[in-house]
Amino acid sequence: MSPRTGLPSAGAVGGAVASSRDPDLEALRQTLLAEGIRDTDDPRASFGRGLPAAPTPRTSQLPPAILTLGGDGDYTLDHVLGEGGMATVWLAQQRALAREVAVKRAHSPTDGAARQLLHEAIITGQLEHPNIVPVHAVVRDAEGPAVIMKRIGGRSWDELIDTRAPLERHLEVVLQVCQACAFAHSRGVLHRDIKPDNVMIGDFGEVYLLDWGVARRLDDDSTNKLAGTPAYMAPEMVRGRSDVRSDVFLLGASLHQAVTGELRHHGAGMLETVAAAARCDEYAYAPEVPEELAAILTRACAREPEARFQTVNELRDALLRFREHRAASSLVITARARLQQLEALARDPAQADYGRAQALFTETRFAFEQAREVWPE
């Protein structure tokens, strides 16, 4: 074991460390069935989008607008950008400002679906931040409410992970997601469904935390329903509990996937995946994962909330320090390479190029000194 991180030594193979904390599978199965969740459902899909406890405006109170497929409506729907469990997002033209926007509409015209859509719009609209998609307006027509949002082009973090992008790129993404999440917490809102598929990277490098459909307010204890995505969720979320440390876990689980290419929780189906989330086995990171980063991920995804980073900003600060330390580590690698060349020259002084030796010595010393300056510890 590593004395610094408590993780397996460099010879260990990455993977979950078995635990004896097996939940009662039959009780868990009954809980899932009571929530309308089946074992055949996708563990990477979100659930828990029940009716919000917070009051939402009646549809009749929303300003009317004309949404059409072609023609001269206020918003001209073009084509579908994406579909979720409860809503469809369209690309549209806003005639008044001659601009592209995204229009989100519920699949069903029922009052419950409308309330859920408005709940998400109100939560998102109150979180004005560069890493959260702006809501321009909420309107209604004969088919019900529609949320008008900024149109974003790009790809999901999930897609970026599939391209095997370098670690530095993933660190840039997660640090910006941390900013969005920390801001939401400062406004009293938990996201509860942070995952790479809910993070969009724009065409110009901008990063957005999307899908606030299962978000809730920190002071709202009226719901203890399961909510989130089983492959990523913190163990207390299986029991219907969550606080800011649950979002810390979700951030850690998302970066875990970017680093390892694997989901934090695995199972043959929904039941086994939820059971794995409840058990939350410790993960043994492979040697190629930097030890400091492995320690950060292990702490962020600790089973007990008290053992995690207590705020998103604490996690962000740890990741920033790791990124600074990577620069120091790179300098040390360079210094050691120069030192090996210097040692090779020293083994045969008669044939040594003393000008080259002096240059190597200077470069070696400079690199080590710079590394100490970047990382004094």
Q: What is the pTM for the complete model shown? A: 0.83
Given a cut of 80, whether residue 351 has pLDDT beyond it is no
Per-residue confidence band for 166, with pLDDT thresholds at 50, 70 and 90: very high
Given a cut of 70, whether residue 1 has pLDDT beyond it is no
Given a cut of 90, whether residue 350 has pLDDT beyond it is no
pLDDT of 50 reads: 61
For residues 158-165, give the mean pLDDT: 94
Looking at the annotation, which residues are catalytic? Answer: 193
Given a cut of 80, whether residue 236 has pLDDT beyond it is yes
Given a cut of 80, whether residue 105 has pLDDT beyond it is yes
Cβ contacts of residue 54 below 8 Å, gap of 6+?
Answer: 119, 122, 217, 220
Q: How high does pLDDT run on average in the chain?
A: 87
